[in-house]
């Protein structure tokens, strides 16, 4: 007989305890422990259940006997999605897509389903939040029509598995994993146990049948995918779909990818007909830049393997408070405070009584250290009220002693700046050797922050 055991599981981190606690020891969250009933089978029952399955028992093999032929990827019509996935969809992979409500996750997956269906792949779109008619209305608005696209409204995992067995599709979309429940688990849909069991079942289907399965995951108010962290460890690829609610641009990032590089980024624009990919985002991010404005600089940032030119704006004004304000959008707040301290100590700018407001235009988030020098030039330009040249681009990492350190992939950054018509780029002096710069752009190497400000602001 199967044994029933009661335990308490944290709904935030998945910590398990035999008794209830007001505060979770794993994540220090209050009132997150809920009671769940676990049914465990005996060893003889598990052996009997495995003996009746049709799957052959696998055996360990020598790594030298394993074939090395590369499995072909399935390319979609979206080059941005192909870039983020590392060159297309790998058959038999499990992909997790997270994002804020209304950001466009379902729209993106429905459009991708139509693209795959037009290539004669069978796609099963399973929605637990919409009926079949509601999915059809959204498909009509997006212009999605194909005989190879099947829609299904169901939340029972056993029924979903049965439909996959009957249709035998090439691709499956689950929208969303928080609405799906396993009938053998007594907890409510969306709980830690349900999400873990349903994802494990989907992973088994993906690996045994060679089906690529997309899973939509809700996010918490902190921006993380809801459910246990184990969910991100189980899947092959984790994609985050992000963007400002008041901007039309959406950014798809890969934060985990077993079949490609991480930190790749694809940019889409939300329109009435759906999401359209942006092939040259640098031009869009710079098209509304003001000419001759103080506090504005352009930096060539790398997002994965793609260089992107974005504008950094800084507003420096005298403070009326004892503690000046430091606000930053699109860049780390602590990094801004650090760079302002470098400016004050190494260059002599009196910023301790100044409010500083920094913003990266277009809703882009910059996290690499190569943007340090552009941030410093923006702050100095705003403080001195001296505009930078509109044809200048700035790249470099800044150390605490005021030195400018080398950055990676300088060739791609310089070529992107030259392609967009910039006449001059300021880079670290250590990046000047080992490559040949383009002839249509002037490359200036600097070793210190003071030297960079001399070229950018004339002193």
What are the beta bridge partners of residue 38? 5
Q: Is 127 annotated as a binding residue?
A: no
Nearest to 214 by CA among 173, 242, 184: 173
CB neighbour burial string for 62-79, b if at least 16 within 10 angstroms, e if fewer: eeeeeeeeeeebbbbebe
Question: Could you give the residue ranges of the DSSP H alpha helices within 127-271?
Answer: 132-142, 157-167, 192-209, 230-234
Q: Is 102 annotated as a binding residue?
A: yes
Nearest to 398 by CA among 299, 314, 327: 299
Six-digit token string for 340: 């302002």
∠ CA 250-254-260, rounded to 5° = 135
Long-range residue pairs from 23-26, CB within 8 A, at least 24 positions apart, any chain: none
- Pair type for strands 171-175 and 123-127: parallel
Six-digit token string for 63: 């790594």
CA distance linking residue 291 with residue 374, whole number of Å: 17
Q: Is 103 annotated as a binding residue?
A: yes
CA distance linking residue 75 with residue 85, whole number of Å: 10
Backbone angles phi, psi at 9, to 5 degrees: -125, 135
Q: Is 101 annotated as a binding residue?
A: yes
CB neighbour list of residue 415: distance below 8 Å, 6 or more residues apart: 307, 438
Q: Is 99 annotated as a binding residue?
A: yes
CA distance linking residue 203 with residue 223, whole number of Å: 24
Instruction: Look at the block and give the residue holding tokens 């641009």.
Output: 249
> Do the Cβ atoms of 126 and 205 come closer than 8 Å?
no
Six-digit token string for 198: 């349903």
151 in helix, strand or coil?
A: strand
Q: Is 104 annotated as a binding residue?
A: yes
Q: Is 267 annotated as a binding residue?
A: no
R_g of the chain computed on alpha carbons: 26
- Pair type for strands 212-217 and 33-40: unpaired
CA distance linking residue 307 with residue 410, whole number of Å: 10
Number of other CB atoms surrounding residue 325 within 10 Å: 11
428 in helix, strand or coil?
A: strand
Is the preceding peptide bond at 346 cis, omega within 30 degrees of 0?
no
Q: Is 210 annotated as a binding residue?
A: no
Annotated binding site for ATP: 99-106
Annotated binding site: 99-106
């Amino acid at each position: 007989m199967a044994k029933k055991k009661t335990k308490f599981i944290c709904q935030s981190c998945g910590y398990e305890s035999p008794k209830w606690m007001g505060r979770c020891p794993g994540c220090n969250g209050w009132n997150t422990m809920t009671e769940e009933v676990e049914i465990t089978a005996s060893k003889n029952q598990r052996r009997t259940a495995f003996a009746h399955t049709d799957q052959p028992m696998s055996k360990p093999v020598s790594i030298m006997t394993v074939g090395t032929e590369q499995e072909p990827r399935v390319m979609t019509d979206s080059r941005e999605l192909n870039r983020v996935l590392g060159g297309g969809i790998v058959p038999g992979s499990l992909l997790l897509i997270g994002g804020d409500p209304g950001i466009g996750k379902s729209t993106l997956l429905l459009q991708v389903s139509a693209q795959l269906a037009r290539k004669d792949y069978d796609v099963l779109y399973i929605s637990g939040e919409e009926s079949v008619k509601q999915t059809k209305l959204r498909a009509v608005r997006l212009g999605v029509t194909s005989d190879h696209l099947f829609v299904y409204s169901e939340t029972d995992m056993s029924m979903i598995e049965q439909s996959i067995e009957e249709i035998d599709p090439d691709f499956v979309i689950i929208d969303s994993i928080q609405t799906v429940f396993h009938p053998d688990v007594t907890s409510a849909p969306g709980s830690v146990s349900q999400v873990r069991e349903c994802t494990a079942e989907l992973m088994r289907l993906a690996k045994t049948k060679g089906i690529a399965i997309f899973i939509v995951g809700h996010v918490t108010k902190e921006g993380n995918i809801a459910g246990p962290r184990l969910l991100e460890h189980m899947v092959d690829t984790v994609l985050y779909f992000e963007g400002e609610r008041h901007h039309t641009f959406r950014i798809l990032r890969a934060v985990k990818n077993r079949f490609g590089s991480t930190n790749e980024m694809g940019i889409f624009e939300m329109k009435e007909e759906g999401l359209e990919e942006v092939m040259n985002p640098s031009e869009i991010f710079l098209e509304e830049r003001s000419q001759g404005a103080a506090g504005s600089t352009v930096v060539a940032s790398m997002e994965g393997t793609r260089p992107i030119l974005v504008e950094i704006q800084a507003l420096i004004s005298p403070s009326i408070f004892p503690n000046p304000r430091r606000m930053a959008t699109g860049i780390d707040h602590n990094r801004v405070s650090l760079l302002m301290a470098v400016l004050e100590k190494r260059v002599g700018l009196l910023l301790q009584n100044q409010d500083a407001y920094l913003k990266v235009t277009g809703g882009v988030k910059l996290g690499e250290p190569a943007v340090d020098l552009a941030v410093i030039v923006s702050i100095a330009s705003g403080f001195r009220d001296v505009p930078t040249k509109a044809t200048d681009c700035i790249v470099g990492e800044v150390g605490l002693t005021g030195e400018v350190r080398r950055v990676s992939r300088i060739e791609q950054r310089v070529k992107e700046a030259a392609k967009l018509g910039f006449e001059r780029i300021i880079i670290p002096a250590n990046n000047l050797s080992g490559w040949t710069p383009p002839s249509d752009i002037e490359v200036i190497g600097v070793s210190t922050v003071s030297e960079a400000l001399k070229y950018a602001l004339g002193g």
